[in-house]
Structure 1
Amino acid sequence: MDLPPLSFHPSLEEQWDEEEDPEEIETVLKVFPPAYHKYLDVFFKVKAEKLPPHRACDHHIEFEENVEKGFIRPSSSSTGAPVLFVKKKDGGLRLCVDYCKLNAVTRKNRFPVSPMNKLLTVFKGSTIFSKIDLRGAYSLLTIKEGDGHLTAFRTKYGSYEYLVMPFGLTNAPASFLNIVNDIFADFLDV
């Protein structure tokens, strides 16, 4: 299949050509089969990782804040999950770590999670309710000493690893629910 050549506004092409690193071009030429060389502009790291300038700055500040809070630390792990950004309702971006490969090899915690219809029947006839705010609760659960390298993720600012439970790990919800049930064991059937 022969696709039409990609074209950009001339000023954009000039800007992008200035940013291309000769070593990166050489690496890409080695990695990608010759049939794809005419589409090289799609594969360059510099172009693929660009965010609007204020976004990149915002995320650097977010990493620094999380280091200061003790949620993450710089990592020297030989592996690291990729990150992606998901748009939030307020227009900002949320950093998400893609733990698919780690989750695929993780032995699953089969802690029973009650179905919603069963939970709702417990409330039948109740007149007084209470609620608990668990918004920052994951950040209260620490990663087992020595396992932090498993949560490592790569950013353009370097590699980091979590010291607290991150979102996205396959066993995070079950582990969290197990702890909450232990804490409120006396109230589960009240």
Structure 2
Amino acid sequence: MSFLLNCLKSYPPQRGFDHATELEHGARPPAQAPYRMAPAELAELRKQLDWLLEARLIQSSKAPYRSPVLFQRKQDGSMKMCLDYRALNKVTIKNKYSIPNVMDLFDKLTKAKFYTKIDLRSRYWQVSVARGDEPKTMCVTRYDSFEVLVMPFSLTNTPATFCNLMNDVLYEVLDRFVVYLDDISAEAGYLFVAGAETSTV
């Protein structure tokens, strides 16, 4: 986490692709209670909340929205904090932006001998939540309620927003690289060409 904190010393710039959450007409703000947690989960929750506050990725809020927090155990034994936006997602108008077909992308890699794979660090956190929509991201815990200032991965339209951003940023090279959300692959028939292609990204 310390490495990510150094990378995220400033709020993401406004890029014209801020994540907006538009609700269905007449939808009420979902308001749920915090989930019960074991002592180890509470300790981890406090640790991660302190880190997110220090990184300025969340802020305390009194908005009417309430989405609970839960933990998912990762393969290495660590705990990943997840925001349960299922109730919010049910009343969110879905973004129909088309995600690339994975099989079409694989077809582009079949003739290459060398590959370079780039996995973007802190991916979705590079996108700001649209101004005025921060209250909709609110998560509730036993310690406080917080708005998320950068795009959470569990909102229903997050993949569409990020795909739109990546396609815009890499528009000129979409026929040369394989771009799927936060994964970018450069392929080439010769090693020195693969290196040059990677430097382009």
TM-score in terms of structure 1 length: 0.70
CA offsets per residue over residues 112-155 of structure 1, 9 Å max, x none? 11222111111232234332221311111000111100000110
Higher Rg of the two aligned structures: 1
Task: Measure, in 2, the Cα distance between the counterparts of 1:128 and 1:87.
Answer: 34
Counterpart of 1:49 in structure 2: which amino acid?
R
Q: Which residue does 1:158 correspond to in 2?
A: 144
Q: Residue 129 of structure 1: SS of its match in structure 2? A: strand
Shift of 1:170: 0.5
Structure 1: runs of 5 or more not aligned:
1-44
CA offsets per residue over residues 73-115 of structure 1, 9 Å max, x none? 1111112111222222222322211111111111111111122
1:50–1:177: structure 2 CA closer, same or farther, 3 Å change rule? Answer: closer
User: Is 1:101–2:99 an aligned residue pair?
Assistant: no
Find the partner of 1:112 among 98, 101, 126.
Answer: 98
Q: Residue 65 of structure 1: SS of its match in structure 2? A: helix
Aligned length: 144
Query: Is the 2:85–2:154 Cα contact (8 Å) retained in structure 1?
Result: yes
Could you say which structure has the higher strand fraction? 2
Task: Measure, in 2, the Cα distance between the counterparts of 1:127 and 1:175.
Answer: 32
Output aligned runs, 1:16-165, within 5 Å.
49-52=36-39, 54-165=40-151
Q: Residue 182 of structure 1: SS of its match in structure 2? A: helix
Structure 1 stretches of at least 4 aligned residues deviating more than 4 Å after TM superposition: none
TM-score in terms of structure 2 length: 0.66
Task: Measure, in 2, the Cα distance between the counterparts of 1:104 and 1:156.
Answer: 24
Q: Tell me how large the CA RMSD over aligned residues is.
A: 1.9
Q: Residue 73 of structure 1: SS of its match in structure 2? A: strand
Q: Percent identity?
A: 35
CA offsets per residue over residues 38-86 of structure 1, 9 Å max, x none? xxxxxxx9xx72412x432222121011011111111111121112222
Q: Residue 62 of structure 2: SS of its match in structure 1? A: coil
Task: Measure, in 2, the Cα distance between the counterparts of 1:188 and 1:94.
Answer: 32
Find the partner of 1:167 among 131, 153, 176.
Answer: 153
Counterpart of 1:136 in structure 2: which amino acid?
S
Could you say which structure has the higher helix fraction? 1
Q: Residue 131 of structure 1: SS of its match in structure 2? A: strand
Structure 2: runs of 5 or more not aligned:
1-32, 177-201
